[in-house]
Structure formats: C-alpha cells, structure tokens
Amino acid sequence: EAQVTQNPRYLITVTGKKLTVTCSQNMNHEYMSWYRQDPGLGLRQIYYSMNVEVTDKGDVPEGYKVSRKEKRNFPLILESPSPNQTSLYFCASSLSAGSGNTIYFGEGSWLTVV
C-alpha cells in the first residue's frame, strides 16, 4: 500500500531536548516536504527536498533541520525545541515537483514542547 509514514505520532518533550521526527515513503517519490499546521495559519512549509541530497528552506525553516540521504527518508530535526514549535507536523511526498502530481501526506505528528 502506498503510504507516507511518520514517527512518532504523538510526542511531549521539554525545551532544548533534541528530537527527530522520521518520515518514510514507499512510492519512490523524488519530492518530499515538511509542513506544520497551526490554527488559523493553515499549512506552512518548513523544508522541502527535490531529490536525494537536495534540500531547501520553505516558508518557516527557523529552528528546524532536515536531511535527505536516501530517497525514501526525510527526517525533520529539532536541535533545540522551543514551545513555539508545539504544532501538528505533516510529512508529504509527490512523484516529483512536477505538473499535476498529487501530494501524499503522512498521518501527522502531534508535538508538544513544554
């Protein structure tokens, strides 16, 4: 089954404790991205990756890092989480950043930073 898998789905952590949210897709997609969803702000793109070893900042990259060493994986790293990073995070992938390609989303990761 084609899917985008994120882990963990739910996490409560403390300020400053590094954490990683993993994302894996099994569709051989080139394009992957991370979004955060906040009430009244919709989805905002954090980082995206056009292909292996190619990553770039989205609209709200501050406080986050990503890596794309393999095609299927695109982890989101919070080196020193802060309470304003409490949010719902979605990983997404598509065949390429190409015309008409559907974006597939993971189930979301609820992150609370206290």
Partner 1 sequence: AQSVSQHNHHVILSEAASLELGCNYSYGGTVNLFWYVQYPGQHLQLLLKYFSGDPLVKGIKGFEAEFIKSKFSFNLRKPSVQWSDTAEYFCAVNALYGGGYQKVTFGIGTKLQVIP
Under the criterion CB under 8 A, does residue 45 sit at the interface with partner 1?
yes
Shortest Å, Cβ 100 to partner 1: 3
Q: Are strands 10-13 and 109-113 parallel, antiparallel or unpaired?
A: parallel
Candidate list 34, 35, 47, 74; residue touching partner 1; CB under 8 A:
35
Q: What is the dihedral of CA 28, 78, 55, 100, to 10 degrees?
A: 50
Candidate list 5, 19, 44, 63; residue touching partner 1; CB under 8 A:
44
Place of tokens 């994120």: 6
Place of tokens 């991370």: 34
Candidate list 11, 19, 27, 43; residue touching partner 1; CB under 8 A:
43
**Mask for 83-102, x = binds partner 1 (CB under 8 A):** -------x------xxxx-x
9: amino acid identity, one letter: R
Angstrom distances, CA of residue 23 to CA of 71, 84, 86, 100: 11, 22, 18, 23
Contacting positions for partner 1 (CB under 8 A): 33, 35, 40-45, 90, 97-100, 102-103, 105-108
